[in-house]
């Protein structure tokens, strides 16, 4: 059952699951709370708070473009609505950018930080990839074809060699409607404009950077740059996964998160 926070006149849907140390979960581009449904049951010992970013799921559609820092203020509003003065923060992909901004904006609210399959600065490849994703979302009307196309480079090759692509696409489409094109485009532009790399040296929260060997969005070099820039940050690789280890290997992913947050 959803509860709601508000920021910038937008309603932000969230829910709480589990018991233990509070953990705010921040999703990536075009991912709502359901994206975490495989991993959340394995995050034992943690009270996870997951929310739909603006422009997706049960949250409001934004009236205009915005920046990742605006989405970090959404995350703060969710913490406030959930009655949490301080929490661990886990961000995936775009959510990792949001988590970095949150840790810089309100360091007193962030206990430990987990940055998963993300980056601090775009390059030509990632900007071109975001532009391609917007074009695919705009031009492919068939949702099964769109999800199948996206999955071929979002998921790791180990996953795709063991789970039929058609089954992945059908399960995704059956889970709910695709994000509206306008919302997808606004989120993608916020990602393309994001740049935290020169500022994250100020992060003081203990930080874990999770990466995947077959991530064809953000290669290991992006994770290495985060580890080098954030004082004391350490890295862990989730084996045999692509861009979405919390979906492809949820138990292994959750174990890595729990091992860092509950140590």
The percent of residues in the chain predicted with pLDDT above 70, rounded, is: 100
Residue 129, pLDDT > 90, answer: yes
CB 115 within 8 A of CB 196: no
Task: Find the DSSP H helices in 52-123.
Answer: 68-81, 94-105
pLDDT at 45 over 90: yes
Query: What pLDDT is attached to residue 263?
Result: 85
The residue among 18, 14, 98 whose CA lies nearest residue 51 is 14
Q: Tens digit of pLDDT for each residue in 211-263?
A: 999 999 999 999 999 999 999 999 999 999 999 999 999 999 999 999 999 98
**Residues composing the chain:** 263
pLDDT digits (tens, 9 = 90+) for 3-36: 999 999 999 999 999 999 999 999 999 999 999 9
Give the pLDDT confidence score for residue 96 in this predicted structure.
98
In the predicted model, is pLDDT for residue 1 greater than 90? no
* Predicted TM-score (pTM) above 0.85: yes
207: β partners: 113
Structural domains of the chain sorted by starting position, each given as residue range(s) with its CATH number in brackets: 3-261 (3.40.50.1820)
Share of the chain above pLDDT 90, in %: 98
Confidence (pLDDT) at 226: 98
pLDDT band with cut points at 50, 70 and 90 for residue 40: very high
Q: Tokens standing for 78?
A: 């969710």
pLDDT in tens, 72-111: 999 999 999 999 999 999 999 999 999 999 999 999 999 9
How far apart (Å, rounded) are the C-alpha atoms in residues 182 and 130? 14
Count Cα neighbours of 190 within 13 Å in the Cβ-side half-sphere.
Answer: 29
Closest CA to 244 of 219, 212, 221, 196: 212
Residue 176 has pLDDT above 90, yes or no: no
Q: Mean pLDDT throughout 139-160?
A: 95
pLDDT average, residue stretch 113-132: 98
């Amino acid at each position: 059952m959803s509860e709601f926070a508000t920021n910038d006149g937008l309603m932000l849907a969230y829910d709480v699951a589990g018991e233990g140390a509070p953990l705010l979960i921040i999703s990536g581009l075009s991912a709502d709370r359901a994206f975490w449904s495989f991993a959340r049951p394995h995050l034992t010992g943690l009270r996870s708070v997951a929310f739909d970013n603006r422009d997706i799921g049960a949250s409001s559609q934004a009236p205009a473009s915005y920046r990742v820092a605006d989405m970090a203020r959404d995350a703060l509003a969710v913490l406030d609505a959930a009655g949490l003065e301080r929490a661990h923060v886990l961000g995936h992909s775009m959510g990792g950018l949001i988590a970095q901004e949150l840790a810089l904006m309100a360091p007193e609210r962030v206990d430990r930080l987990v940055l998963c399959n993300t980056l601090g600065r775009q390059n030509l490849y990632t900007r071109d990839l975001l532009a391609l994703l917007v074009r695919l979302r705009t031009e492919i009307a068939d949702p099964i074809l769109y999800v199948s196309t996206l999955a071929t480079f979002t998921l790791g090759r180990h996953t795709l060699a063991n789970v039929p692509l058609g089954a992945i696409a059908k399960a995704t489409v059956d889970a709910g409607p695709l994000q509206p094109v306008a919302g997808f485009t606004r989120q993608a532009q916020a990602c393309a404009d994001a740049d935290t790399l020169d500022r994250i040296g100020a992060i003081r929260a203990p930080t874990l950077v999770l990466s995947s060997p077959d991530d064809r969005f953000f290669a290991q070099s992006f994770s290495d740059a985060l580890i080098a820039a954030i004082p004391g940050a350490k890295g862990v690789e989730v084996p045999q996964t692509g861009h979405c280890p919390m979906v492809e290997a949820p138990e292994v992913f959750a174990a890595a998160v729990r091992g860092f947050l509950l140590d």
